[in-house]
């Protein structure tokens, strides 16, 4: 039993080693880096290769991660539920900031609120679980729209843009400029655009495909949110990064996507 456990542990160590070398790594270097005897490493590598968990480039004699490993990884990522993954991070963010946190997803021009975590500083808001709001006037919506194809943004803006408050952006050119700011700063802002007295900052949540599948926000009374901005923004960004990483997102995906 101990031998089997040891063999499994070594095989996983080899897989992890190979995964850090996109261009491949030789048997000798694998043995050197993992500390596994070359003969033992070779035996385990042969099995992994036969099962397609790794692949050998016959020309360079280097091993890379195989199709089977990718298949298993993707299946695991698809089984991760956005709400289930996000809840502990949103609760922690609310605890650390004292403010209310939200999770939302995009649906046909609107944002649907999937989760709400209240901080110690309670707020009065009409945004509740299961309710929806227009994407163009919410921080969550802007965070997601900024990542979407321009065709979808145009479709959203082609509909009536109701002015909920004096701050609601209803001019298309102005809204395009707003999304440009979001792409630049990586932060979306709803500054009393749907409820007077309430401001929120939001960031997108990405999954393993590199697409924004949702967004999270921190919200509170306008004066307090702006006053504590320097504390709130780093916490919000890090929370978004943690959830995205948990869902399999790798930052380099964005540079290759656009």
Question: What six digits make up the tokens of 232?
Answer: 């709130």
d(CA 21, CA 215): 32
Residue 146 and residue 183 in contact, taking contact as beta carbons nearer than 8 Å: yes
Site of tokens 């932060």:
187
Q: What is the mean pLDDT of residues 69-98?
A: 81
Asked, colleague to colleague, whether 2-77 and 80-257 share their fold, the answer is: no
- Beta strand 188-191 with 132-134 is unpaired
> Would you kindly state where each structural domain of the chain is located, as residue ranges?
2-77, 80-257
Query: Can you spell out the DSSP letters for 30-47?
Result: HHHHH---HHHHHHHHHH
Q: What is the mean pLDDT of residues 141-166?
A: 92
Whether 95 and 104 have beta carbons less than 8 Å apart is answered as no
User: What pLDDT does residue 256 have?
Assistant: 47
Instruction: Dig out the tokens for 111 from the structure.
Output: 């944002």
Domain 2-77 in this protein, CATH class: mainly alpha
The alpha-helical segments, DSSP class H, found in 134-257 are: 139-145, 150-157, 172-185, 222-227, 229-246, 252-257
**Distance between first and last Cα of the chain:** 50
Do residues 206 and 253 make contact, with C-beta atoms less than 8 angstroms apart?
A: yes
**199-217: per-residue pLDDT in tens?**
999 999 998 888 899 999 9
Element (H, E) at 117: strand 110-117
Q: In this structure, what token pair is assigned to residue 219?
A: 């919200």
Examine the pLDDT at 40 and tell me if it is beyond 60: yes
pLDDT of residue 76: 60
pTM summary value: 0.70
Chain center to CA of 145 = 15
80-257 adopts what CATH topology?
Beta-Lactamase (3.30.450)
Tell me the residue length of the chain. 258
Could you tell me which residues are beta bridge partners of residue 221?
198
What's the average model confidence in pLDDT over 33-45? 93
The per-residue DSSP string of 50-108 comes to HTTSEEEETTTTEEEE-HHHHHHHHHHHHT--HHHHHHHHHHHHHHHHSSEEEEEEEET
pLDDT tens digits along 169-178: 999 999 999 9
How many whole angstroms separate alpha carbon 247 and alpha carbon 236? 17
């Amino acid at each position: 039993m101990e031998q089997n456990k040891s063999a499994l542990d070594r095989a996983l160590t080899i897989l992890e080693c190979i995964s850090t070398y996109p261009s491949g790594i030789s048997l000798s270097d694998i043995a050197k880096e993992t500390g596994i005897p070359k003969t033992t490493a070779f035996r385990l590598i042969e099995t992994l290769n036969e099962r397609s968990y790794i692949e050998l480039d016959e020309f360079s004699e280097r091993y890379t991660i195989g199709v089977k490993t990718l298949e298993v990884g993707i299946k695991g990522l698809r089984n991760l539920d956005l709400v289930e993954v996000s809840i502990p991070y949103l609760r922690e963010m609310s605890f650390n900031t004292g403010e209310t946190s939200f999770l939302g997803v995009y649906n046909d021009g609107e944002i649907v609120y999937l989760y709400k975590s209240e901080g110690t500083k309670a707020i009065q808001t009409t945004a509740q679980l299961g309710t929806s709001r227009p994407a163009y006037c919410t921080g969550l919506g802007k965070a997601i729209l900024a990542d979407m194809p321009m065709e979808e943004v145009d479709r959203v803006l082609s509909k009536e843009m109701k002015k909920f408050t004096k701050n609601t952006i209803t001019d298309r050119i102005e809204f395009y400029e707003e999304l440009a700011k979001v792409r630049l700063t990586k932060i979306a802002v709803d500054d009393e655009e749907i409820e007077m007295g309430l401001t929120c900052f939001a960031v997108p949540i990405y999954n393993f495909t590199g697409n924004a599948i949702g967004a999270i926000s921190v919200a509170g009374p306008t004066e307090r949110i702006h006053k504590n901005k320097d504390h709130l923004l780093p916490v919000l960004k890090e929370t978004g990064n943690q959830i995205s990483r948990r869902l399999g997102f790798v930052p380099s995906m964005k540079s290759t996507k656009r």
